[in-house]
Amino acid sequence: MSDAVAVERTLAGDREAYRVLVERHSAFVYRLAYRMTGNKEDAEEVVQEAFLRAYQKLRQFAGNANFATWVYRIAANYAIDRLRQRKNEDARRELPSRVVEGEPETDPLALVKDRAPSPEQLAGSVQLAAKMKEALGTLTPAERTAIVMRHWDGCGIEEIAAVLKSNTSAAKNTVFRAVQKLRLALAPFAEPRGAARAVGTES
Amino acid sequence: MKHVTEEELFQYREGDQKGREAVAAHLGECAECRGELARLEAVFAALDAIPVPDPGEDYGARVWRQIAPRLPEKGRRWWEVFFAPQRLAVAGALAALVIVAFYAGRVTKQPPTPVDLAKQNQVRERVLIVAVGEHLGKSEMVLVELSNAQPASGQKLINIAAEQRRAENLVEENRLYRQTALEGGDKAMVSTLDELERVLLDVANSPDAVTPAQFESIQKRIAEHGILLKVRVVRQELRTAETGGKSQPAQTDSTAKEKNKA
């Protein structure tokens, strides 16, 4: 049964047809959810919520669109809301004195720099993966969403902008900012401290 | 020699065409910048090193078991379908149409002449005009409320759940009228309702509570489409058709071209 037929039959009241869609696309949505949230529990919750929301809004789904892309976008929207909510809760819990209306959020770069171990402490891909996972955790929800959608899922800038509720130029900048921060976090591992030159300078 | 900036390198890797040749030429002769590009590539390679745990072959089945009890019944009973609010509005318009057609038939001499039939068609169109006009009015109201709202300074989240629900209902109603316009061959109306649907869907698919930046972006998209202006123009045309009966909906095509220019 194709996705389009499964959607039609679900709308006609056939719940088993929706089971086909859930079983077919869960793993795909899970990969996005895991990369965005960074842990299994949250990822599983995002997947469930995405399919529940997709079911509730199925009448709004344009028949000629791709169901996988549509549910992916619902999951990304839910995951980014969840990341923002989590970030706000953490900020309230950990830094009550710093949460002031209008104050810019703590610079994740500073956090990465402070915690960065020496090159000797980092060795092998396991540590590298752990380091990158930690660096991903310091990105803002928008930056994390942008890099996940762009790098792993090859989404177009327009699609990323739609999820971030911004324009394409801002979305492009968000992806670049994420890459910059990740690069800085990786610097102690990939290159000796201070070795990276300030690009764009004369030599 | 002036090196390439990190952003230029990133855009080059992204496949951006702007200044591509210059960056490529510089990379050809500058080992330092090639090194920078390699370091940038290392970031993406490192990202790929992060494993995603395999949720297992039966993951889809597990998700289904978890969500199935929470899914509402999709196949609604006939009276629920019949009394759905968005359908009631259209049903009301159709009922009015039948009544008007009945009285039009009573006052028309038998057998009906082509002129009488034309009058009946006019009456039927007028009822539809009123119904579509009301729908556009309701849509305009939601979009105006969103466009004019000013979040309080320092407000972190703006609750748009009410507008979102109204937009959801309007989407379905919009589709029914669009279908009617399509069957009637009113291309201008179909085009306006198409655009309206996209904006309404945008609102309907937004989160219940949005940040000021997200809210501003919704407002921007409403403004970018110029949909409010288009809806107002069509409503005005419908009002003219409704009161004067001189302008028929089919005539909206030409004015719609003007409207699209706007």
For residue B55, say if its preceding peptide bond is cis, omega within 30 degrees of 0: no
Provide the token pair at B212.
Answer: 């000021």
Measure CB to CB from residue A132 to each of B4, B46, B207 and give the nearest one: B46
Q: How high is the ipTM of this complex?
A: 0.74
Question: Which of A34, A36, A56, A60 to mutate to probe the B interface, most B CBs <10 Å?
Answer: A60
Place of tokens 């090159």: A119
Characterize the bridge pairing of strands B209-210 and B158-159. Answer: antiparallel
Measure CB to CB from residue B5 to each of A12, A200, A202 and give the nearest one: A200
CB neighbour list of residue A29: distance below 8 Å, 6 or more residues apart: A46, A47, A50, A51, A71, A72, A75
Mean pLDDT is lowest, of A95-109, B163-177, B195-209, B220-234, for: A95-109
Q: Cβ distance A48 to A27 under 8 Å?
A: no
With 0-12 / 13-18 / 19 or more C-beta atoms within 10 angstroms meaning exposed / middle / buried, residue B83 is: exposed
What are residue B2's DSSP bridge partners? A202
CB neighbour list of residue A177: distance below 8 Å, 6 or more residues apart: A143
If phi > 0 it is left, if psi is from -120 to 50 it is alpha, else beta; for residue B232 that is: alpha
Q: List the 175-214 stretch of B: residues with Cβ below 8 A of A.
A: 201, 204-207, 210-211, 213-214
Pick the residue with more confidence: B75 or B50?
B50
With 0-12 / 13-18 / 19 or more C-beta atoms within 10 angstroms meaning exposed / middle / buried, residue B84 is: middle
Closest CA to A68 of A51, A56, A85, A89: A51
Compute the nearest-CA separation of A109 from chain B (Å): 15
What are residue B209's DSSP bridge partners? B159
Please list every residue in chain B whose beta carbon sits closer than 8 Å to the beta carbon of residue A104. Answer: none
Are B75 and A201 inside 8 Å of each other by CB?
no
Please list every residue in chain B whose beta carbon sits closer than 8 Å to the beta carbon of residue A183. Answer: 6, 39-40, 43
Helix (H) or strand (E) holding B93: helix B85-107
Which pLDDT belongs to residue A76? 94
For the stretch B22-37, pLDDT in tens is 888 888 888 888 888 8
With 0-12 / 13-18 / 19 or more C-beta atoms within 10 angstroms meaning exposed / middle / buried, residue A5 is: exposed
Measure CB to CB from residue B55 to each of A30, A74, A202 and give the nearest one: A30
Helix (H) or strand (E) holding B156: none
Among chain B residues, the shortest Cα distance to A173 is held by: B7
A5 interfaces chain B, CB cutoff of 8 Å: no
Cα separation of B227 and B140, whole Å?
9
Provide the token pair at B168.
Answer: 């959801």
B76 interfaces chain A, CB cutoff of 8 Å: yes
Cα separation of B221 and B202, whole Å?
9
Measure CB to CB from residue A27 to each of B10, B59, B73 and give the nearest one: B59
Q: Cβ distance B225 to B159 under 8 Å?
A: no
Strand, coil or helix: what is B148? helix
Place of tokens 């998209």: B221
Q: How many CB pairs under 8 A join A and B?
A: 159
For the stretch B110-163, pLDDT in tens is 666 667 667 767 767 777 778 888 888 888 888 888 888 877 777 777 778 778
pLDDT at B256 over 50: no
Among chain B residues, the shortest Cα distance to A167 is held by: B217
CB neighbour list of residue B231: distance below 8 Å, 6 or more residues apart: B136, B139, B140, B143, B192, B196
Are B50 and A81 inside 8 Å of each other by CB?
no
Provide the token pair at B252.
Answer: 């909206």
Please list every residue in chain A whose beta carbon sits closer than 8 Å to the beta carbon of residue B43. Answer: 179, 182-183, 186, 190
Please list every residue in chain B whose beta carbon sits closer than 8 Å to the beta carbon of residue A201. Answer: 2-3
Are B74 and A15 inside 8 Å of each other by CB?
yes
B43 interfaces chain A, CB cutoff of 8 Å: yes
Helices (H), chain A: 3-11, 15-37, 40-56, 67-94, 108-115, 124-138, 141-147, 157-164, 168-190
Digit-by-digit pLDDT tens for chain A (203 residues) are 788 888 888 888 888 899 999 999 999 999 999 999 988 999 999 999 999 999 988 888 866 678 898 999 999 999 999 888 887 777 776 655 444 444 444 444 444 444 444 445 445 667 777 888 888 989 999 999 999 999 988 889 999 999 999 999 999 999 999 999 998 888 776 554 444 444 444 44
Strand, coil or helix: what is B2? strand
Cα separation of A105 and A99, whole Å?
8
What are residue B159's DSSP bridge partners? B209
The upper half-sphere exposure of residue A73, i.e. CA atoms within 13 Å in the direction of its Cβ, equals: 21
Measure CB to CB from residue B49 to each of A10, A88, A132 and give the nearest one: A132
A121 interfaces chain B, CB cutoff of 8 Å: no
Compute the nearest-CA separation of A133 from chain B (Å): 7
Are A59 and B50 inside 8 Å of each other by CB?
no
Q: Which long-range contacts (CB under 8 A, 24 or more apart) does A104-108 make?
A: A105/A140, A108/A138, A108/A139, A108/A140, A108/A181
Which pLDDT belongs to residue B116? 66
Which pLDDT belongs to residue B86? 54
Q: Cβ distance A30 to A37 under 8 Å?
A: no
B152 interfaces chain A, CB cutoff of 8 Å: no
Which pLDDT belongs to residue A32? 93
Mean pLDDT of B82-92: 59
Cα separation of B4 and B35, whole Å?
11
CB neighbour list of residue A165: distance below 8 Å, 6 or more residues apart: B206, B210, B213, B214, B217, B218
Q: Identify the band that residue B81 occupies on the pLDDT scale cut at 50, 70 and 90.
A: very low
Q: How many CB atoms lie within 10 A of CB B2?
A: 10
